[in-house]
């Protein structure tokens, strides 16, 4: 058995004190959830050293993650819940000031945990309150009371500690695997394209969330901390033309709360900040085994969000 890899951590600060977050996380979003496959993958990930796990109410994976963590404890893979970093996210139908805490409580109930390490606003939009709906339609959209929702997120710290308030999927592509630049770097380094991409994101100083149900690729994805890309490698990758996906054009309409993508993204869509920091890379599921490989970052409206970037070679 491969020894567990010690994944580097960053320190998060909040009114509740400091908390460390592993820079490499394991994502649980998928088009079609297979609870048994996900549970097995999470257990294997824990054996390999993964300690950061990303879920969300809309993923319906919170219960399965709960079972996997409980089994990991019973098997002695980890000593307690405190040894893992759990992130969950509030879906748009719950993005209303009076529904934030009930939504958090529901996630905690699903996870059977007393606290979350990180709780995020999934998207900066509100859907009509009620049943969680995905995908949202134009008729579902209502104005977001960001100030009220954020105040409720801060209030939720009294309930639970919260430091911060691919091909093979319907949203991915194969452009990363087809990039000649990445292929050349991977061959020269004797690494996989996925490892090159993960290492690149890590060297930008950001957090990456990956996912695979394949044992060998799980192992490969965590073997990125004992080597580094050269400045020449980084420059080649940084010059690669980028194509952003999951812009959420469907949330923009003449009659909705957001009339343009620029407005939806709070003016960051074409900014240097947006292009250099908000990275969410999709790799092919079959070859790289990564469906979620992302970065969370803070925008000017003080909410956490995800965006995707894929490469053209």
Of 117, 122, 164, 162, residue with least CA distance to 144: 122
* Residues of the chain by 3-state class (helix, strand, coil), percent to 5: 35, 15, 45
Q: Express each pLDDT in 38-56 by its tens digit.
A: 999 999 999 999 999 999 9
Phi first, then psi: give them for residue 63, nearest 5 degrees. -65, -40
**Close Cβ partners of 227 (under 8 Å, ≥ 6 residues apart):** 189, 191, 199
Which structure tokens are listed for 279? 């990275």
**Tell me, what's the pLDDT at 213?**
83
Chain-centroid distance of CA 47 in Å reads: 21
Q: Express each pLDDT in 291-306 by its tens digit.
A: 333 333 222 222 333 3
Sign, CA dihedral 27-162-130-150, equals negative
**Tell me, what's the pLDDT at 204?**
83
CB 264, CB 123: distance < 8 Å: no
Sign, CA dihedral 284-246-104-137, equals negative
The C-alpha atoms of residue 43 and residue 289 are separated, in whole angstroms, by 16
Q: Confidence band (pLDDT; 50, 70, 90) for 260?
A: confident
**Tell me, what's the pLDDT at 60?**
95
* DSSP bridge pairs for 309: 244, 281
Phi first, then psi: give them for residue 54, nearest 5 degrees. -110, 125
The C-alpha atoms of residue 309 and residue 313 are separated, in whole angstroms, by 13
Which structural domains are found in the chain, ordered by start? 1-165 (3.20.20.100), 171-313 (3.20.20.100)
The C-alpha atoms of residue 7 and residue 79 are separated, in whole angstroms, by 17
Q: Which residues are catalytic?
A: 59
User: Which residue is associated with the tokens 């580097």?
Assistant: 8
- In the chain, the largest separation of any two C-alpha atoms, in whole Å, equals 57
Across residues 235-247, what is the average pLDDT? 73
User: Which residue is associated with the tokens 């509030």?
Assistant: 90
Across residues 2-14, what is the average pLDDT? 85
Angle at 214 (CA atoms; ends 120, 21), nearest 5 degrees? 30
């Amino acid at each position: 058995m491969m020894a567990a890899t010690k994944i580097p951590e960053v320190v998060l600060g909040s009114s509740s004190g400091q908390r460390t977050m592993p820079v490499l996380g394991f994502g649980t979003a998928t088009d079609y959830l297979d609870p048994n496959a996900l549970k097995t993958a999470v257990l294997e990930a824990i054996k390999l050293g993964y300690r950061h796990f990303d879920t969300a109410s809309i993923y319906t994976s919170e219960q399965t993650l709960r079972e996997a963590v409980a089994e990991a404890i019973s098997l002695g893979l980890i000593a307690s819940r405190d040894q893992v970093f759990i992130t969950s996210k509030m879906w748009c139908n719950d993005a209303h000031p009076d529904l934030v805490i009930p939504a958090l409580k529901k996630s905690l109930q699903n996870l059977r945990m007393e606290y979350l390490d990180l709780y995020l606003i999934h998207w900066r939009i509100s859907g009509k309150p009620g049943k969680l709906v995905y995908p949202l339609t134009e008729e579902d959209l209502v104005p977001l009371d960001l100030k009220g929702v954020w105040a409720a997120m801060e209030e939720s710290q009294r309930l639970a500690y919260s430091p911060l308030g691919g091909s093979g999927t319907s949203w991915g592509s194969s452009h990363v695997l087809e990039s000649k630049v990445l292929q050349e770097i991977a061959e020269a380094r004797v690494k996989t394209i996925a490892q090159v991409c993960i290492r690149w994101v890590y060297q930008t100083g950001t957090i990456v969330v990956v996912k695979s149900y394949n044992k060998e690729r799980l192992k490969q994805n965590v073997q990125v901390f004992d080597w580094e890309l050269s400045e020449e490698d980084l420059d080649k990758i940084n010059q690669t033309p980028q194509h952003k996906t999951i812009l959420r054009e469907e949330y923009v309409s003449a009659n909705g709360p957001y009339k343009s993508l620029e407005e939806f993204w709070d003016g960051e869509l074409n900014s240097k900040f947006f292009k250099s920091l908000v990275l969410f890379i999709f790799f092919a599921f079959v070859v790289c085994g990564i469906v979620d490989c992302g970065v969370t970052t803070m925008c000017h409206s003080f909410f956490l969000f995800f965006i995707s970037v894929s490469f053209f070679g």
